[in-house]
Each structure stands twice: as structure tokens, then as C-alpha cells.
């Protein structure tokens, strides 16, 4: 498989989602990554398997702020502590809350 830059693409483990790796074609020169259909399927499977907990919650209101209550299962799974700093990342229609 050839890259648009003209260099050879090799099959490698590539980061398909933050922190998640699967197989894809990577250009040895410019670093461009491409997937065939099978590799895309595998990458999505890797992501599905990485989901440990999925819960639905209603947003609340406290003064002027929206609040989100963290379920016990999530608290325990990530060993979250009150007063701890977290990072909120907004990705398209998603909000990811990352603990250190």
C-alpha cells in the first residue's frame, strides 16, 4: 500500500483512539495512518471492549451551574476522591471527564 506522499505504508500497531491501539497502515515517511475495512472493524471492537461502565444520568442544577452526580460504580472503578482535580474534554457531542 502506498501513501499519498509516495512512500510505502506498513502494517503497525497504531493509536486508534486515545490510549487504545489496533492495527493500521502507517506511512514510514509522513506518519499518515489509513485503515482497510477489516482494520476499521477491529479498531471499533477495541473501543467497545474498552468501555467498562455506561450509565445514564440527569443533569441537575445548583445555583447557576449544571451539576452531574458521579455514580458509586464509577467512583469506585476509577478510585475517585472528593476534592480531586479532573479534566473535562469536549469532543463533538461528547464530554470526557479524565482523572489523573
Interface residue list for Zn ion (CB under 5 A)? 3, 5, 7, 27, 29-30, 32
Residue with smaller CB distance to Zn ion, 3 or 16: 3
The CA distance from 49 to 30, in Å, is: 30
10, with CB counted inside 10 A (0-12, 13-18, 19+), is exposed
| Contact assessment for residue 37 and residue 45, using Cβ atoms and an 8 Å cutoff | no
In whole angstroms, how close is the CB of 9 to Zn ion at the nearest point? 7
CB-wise, 4 or 75, nearer to Zn ion? 4
Shortest separation between residue 6's beta carbon and Zn ion, angstroms: 7
Amino acid at each position: 500500500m502506498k501513501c499519498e506522499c509516495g512512500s510505502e505504508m506498513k502494517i503497525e500497531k497504531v493509536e486508534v483512539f486515545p490510549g487504545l491501539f489496533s492495527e493500521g497502515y502507517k506511512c514510514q515517511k509522513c506518519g499518515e495512518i489509513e485503515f482497510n475495512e477489516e482494520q476499521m472493524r477491529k479498531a471499533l471492537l477495541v473501543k467497545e471492549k474498552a468501555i467498562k461502565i455506561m450509565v445514564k444520568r440527569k443533569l441537575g442544577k445548583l445555583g447557576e451551574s449544571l451539576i452531574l452526580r458521579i455514580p458509586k460504580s464509577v467512583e469506585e472503578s476509577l478510585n475517585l476522591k472528593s476534592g480531586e482535580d479532573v479534566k473535562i474534554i469536549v469532543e463533538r457531542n461528547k464530554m470526557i471527564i479524565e482523572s489523573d
